[in-house]
Amino acid sequence: MLRGLYTAASGMMTEQRRHDTVTQNIANINTTGYKQVNSVKHSFPEMLVSLVGDKESPTPKRIGKLATGVFAEESMSSFVQGDLKETHKGSDFALLSNLGLNDPATGDPIPFDASGKYVNEDGEVIYRPQAFFTVMDNNDQVRYTRDGGFTVNAAGDLLTSQGQRVLDSDGNPIVLPAGQSIDSLKSDAQGNLVASDGNAIATLGIVVVNRPQQLVRDGNGVYRADDPDAADIRELQAGDGAEIRQGYLEVSNVDTAQAMVDLLSAQRAYESNQKMIQYYDKSLDKAVNEIGRV
């Protein structure tokens, strides 16, 4: 009986975390470049239940497996391309990323599914590479984002909406010439910025992360790479399948309808586990206070 109590309690904690994850997604529906987060559940190690043998059949008999609960293993970001919203502002930039990857064994293009995932014959999960703007935070640490809503401060530094400095292809902060208006900037599909007088300013620093699931969320749609080698980060090259769209912003890729379904599902599952705990509590109360008196 206590095993069932613990199983129901673990289910409640898992559904609470799932509820919190979906709520976070819904709260960021209007956040530029936000990537949906999905909660991954995993069962506790299963136990093999056996029947102890008697004198006639000393060999134990296997009855079957018994699950001992569930837990929220991790929260994974979905880097699926979000829709582009036209803003008609020269300071807004969107990354249109449709990168591919070849199978190292056969050399053929990998057929990713709609979620940007592919599972090979060995069960290995491969994710579609993604392109990101490179930025620098206040501690001079390189970060990655898909939020291209840029601004300029009094010193001419090109900044993100969170105040981080936008880097060029050489890893240096981009500084606009004196008197240059950000709205009059011109950019081509490769991110080459040109001033209003026709002079080249810089090239937006864009990288390709071949293993985007190795990135760690740093808040406000910004990611960091604790292990750049594991993330396999490289510079964007011509023909990679990614381009810059000036005057556009990439909106959140959260599926609103599915998020509401997941929210209600998590709530119902939480209530079901809660009722099971109440049932076990009443059963234990009866066993101790009524049957125990006999």
Give Cα 60 distance to the centre of its chain. Answer: 47
Mean pLDDT, the chain, integer: 86
Residues 201 and 176 sit within 8 Å (Cβ to Cβ): yes
What distance in Å separates the CA atoms of residue 187 and residue 127, rounded to the nearest whole number?
29
For residue range 264-289, list pLDDT tens digits in order: 999 999 999 899 888 888 888 888 77
Taking the CA atoms of residue 179, residue 181, residue 187 and residue 191 in that order, the dihedral angle to the nearest 10 degrees is 70
Q: Does pTM top 0.95 for this prediction?
A: no
For residue 187, what are the β-bridge partners? Answer: 193
pLDDT band for position 259 (50/70/90)? very high
What distance in Å separates the CA atoms of residue 278 and residue 235, rounded to the nearest whole number?
56
Higher pLDDT, 115 or 133: 133
Instruction: Count the neighbouring beta carbons within 10 Å of the beta carbon of residue 83.
Output: 11
What distance in Å separates the CA atoms of residue 238 and residue 107, rounded to the nearest whole number?
20
Indicate the pairing of strand 130-136 with strand 125-127.
Answer: unpaired
Tokens of 84: 């582009």
Q: What is the mean pLDDT of residues 227-252?
A: 90
Residues 166 and 204 sit within 8 Å (Cβ to Cβ): yes
Q: Of 52, 51, 73, give the one whose Cα is nearest residue 63.
A: 51
Looking at residue 59, its pLDDT comes to 67
Write the CA distances from 112 to 98, 126, 269, 286, integer angstroms. Answer: 11, 8, 31, 55
Residues 22 and 29 sit within 8 Å (Cβ to Cβ): no
% of the chain surpassing 70 pLDDT = 90
Residues 45 and 68 sit within 8 Å (Cβ to Cβ): yes
Half-sphere exposure of 15 (CA within 13 A, CB side): 20
**Crossing angle between the packed helical segments 256-289 and 2-27, to the nearest 10 degrees:** 160
Q: What does the DSSP 8-state code read for residue 226?
A: S
For residue range 12-54, list pLDDT tens digits in order: 888 999 999 999 999 999 889 999 998 888 777 666 666 666 6
